[in-house]
Structure 1
Amino acid sequence: MNKLNNDIIENIYKNISTKRSKTIVNYIAMLMALARDNELNEDDLINWIHSKLSEIGYFQEKNRLSTQNKLDEFVLEFIEGRALLYDDISITETKQNEYVISSKLWYKKNPPESFFYFGIDPEDFSNYAQKLAQINAEKLGISIHFSEDQAHEKEIAHIQLSKKCSLSEELIITQPSSKDFSWLTCFFNEHWGGTTMVSKGTTYNVLNENILLAKRGDYIVGILVYKIFKEEAEILTLEALEKYNGVGSRLLFELEQNLKTQNIHSINLITSNDNLNAIRFYQRKGYSFKNIYIGAIDKARMVKPTIPSIGNYGIHVKDELEFEKRLIQ
């Protein structure tokens, strides 16, 4: 009888916890909609929140009270906050004094009603939550870099003290050194399931192609892999590990300028039909829609089975979209 009661209580708590998470997400969505309807973007909203916190001395007091275990204290608070919004949270600590925290993004696959009522894009919600956490951490001397494990629908947060990677450090675009390749191998194995990729039916090993890295100090915050075919180039992948700070834009700009000096006339890229962020990003950068390859990713999955079937927003990942930008008219 006692076990039955305990099981009932545990189930009730679990259900309430899930409802509480959805309620909090709903309130944040309403706040975002209110800001939007008053012609404020997410940056305006975040700046307003942090200005209010600064006015009451929140960050000064947090820094004053922080101990030598500042990183551990922040990570604990980060996890407590994430527990209200996400599921299946796990944490690991690397040899580089970095915490890696993964959280399941339940609201991307099953958006709450408020997203539909107030016109909130799940990706915009995720971007807002990430940026708010990043700026909050920066003010406390801590850096957070987000990535996404699309295969398992998880957000990955890399957290460490800012002294290793400070946003105040200059962003440098460079080619990889020999020691960078071991890190790149681990990165692609973790996030791609390997270093190979399939584009328009052709298989590439990204480590054997041209690579540009964005670095702050010794820390890699962006990756761009590309290949040159006579008078045109193709971007194979563009990864911005540090979001909202112009890393992707800077890598793209440096590549385009470099290609112009080599008399490369155009640059192409392929993205998947679910990658709405990339589709918006490249169009804002002057890229035009060129082709659609129906079912190309379904075929690529036969070569590389680790390619996920379901991507962003619960969209079936099946088609390749090609974009082009003319560099020399």
Structure 2
Amino acid sequence: MERITNDHRDELKTFFTDQWGDCRMVYSHGEYNCSELEGFVALDGDDTIIGAVTFFDHGQTGIREIISLDSLIERRGIGGGLMELAENDAVSSGLKELCLVTTNDNVHALHFYQKRGYRLTGIRPDAVVSCREKKPSIPEKSTDGVAIRDEWQMKKPLPANGE
């Protein structure tokens, strides 16, 4: 696993397009091009991207927002390893908190993040409905039939650097 560099950008565009239909991540509070963000990638033996975490640091607020986390191979520690890198980097950068948004259908993500110390801090009912206006490719339902409607906000406080 390594920090995203300009050498990864073209492959990241393909990676995110394959995963999400394009590189844009649309939330009720903003829109991000994941292929242009800071983050970390996991590579296989052929240096092909098999996982990525991207984030955006919100200026002087001390908050790092996790924008995307994807792993092509689940239950191998890729997602957890990428999150650990992003979190350790945030601590080293003197940030105070991590936050992220997921959707109501993604109970796997809720479990994953709670195991890592994140807490559910807010729900934005019907937020995904307005996001579909900007990105119509967001599905109405998950693969197991759950209507995708709401954004779930999660946060994790970070220890001060050196604690």
Please name the residue that 1:244 is paired with: 75
Query: What's the CA shift string for 1:64-89, capped at 9, x where partnerless?
Result: xxxxxxxxxxxxxxxxxxxxxxxxxx
Please name the residue that 1:261 is paired with: 92
Question: Aligned-pair RMSD on alpha carbons?
Answer: 1.4
1:254 maps to a residue whose letter is L
Q: 1:312 to 1:277 in 2, by over 3 A?
A: farther
Please point out which of 28, 35, 39 is paired with 1:207.
Answer: 35
| Mapped contact 2:123–2:153 kept (Cα < 8 A) | yes
Query: What's the CA shift string for 1:132-171, capped at 9, x where partnerless?
Result: xxxxxxxxxxxxxxxxxxxxxxxxxxxxxxxxxxxxxxxx
| Mapped contact 2:118–2:156 kept (Cα < 8 A) | yes
Where structure 2 has 5 or more consecutive residues not aligned to the other structure, the ranges are none
Q: Is the aligned partner of 1:303 residue 2:143?
A: no
SS of alignment partner, residue 318 of structure 1 = coil
Task: Tell me: higher relative CO, structure 1 or 2? Use CA pairs within 8 A at least 6 residues apart.
Answer: 2
Identity over the aligned pairs, expressed in percent? Answer: 29
Please point out which of 169, 184, 187 is paired with 2:12.
Answer: 184
Please point out which of 234, 248, 260 is paired with 2:65.
Answer: 234
More strand by share: 2
Where do residues 167-182 of structure 1 align in structure 2 (5 Å cutoff)? 173-182=1-10
Please point out which of 84, 97, 103 is paired with 1:272.
Answer: 103
Please name the residue that 2:44 is paired with: 216
TM-score, normalised to structure 2, is 0.90
Q: Is the aligned partner of 1:288 residue 2:89?
A: no
State the 1:312 CA deviation: 4.0
Please name the residue that 1:15 is paired with: none
1:188 maps to a residue whose letter is F
TM-score, normalised to structure 1, is 0.46
Which 4+ residue blocks in structure 1 deviate beyond 6 angstroms? none
1:192 maps to a residue whose letter is W
SS of alignment partner, residue 122 of structure 2 = strand
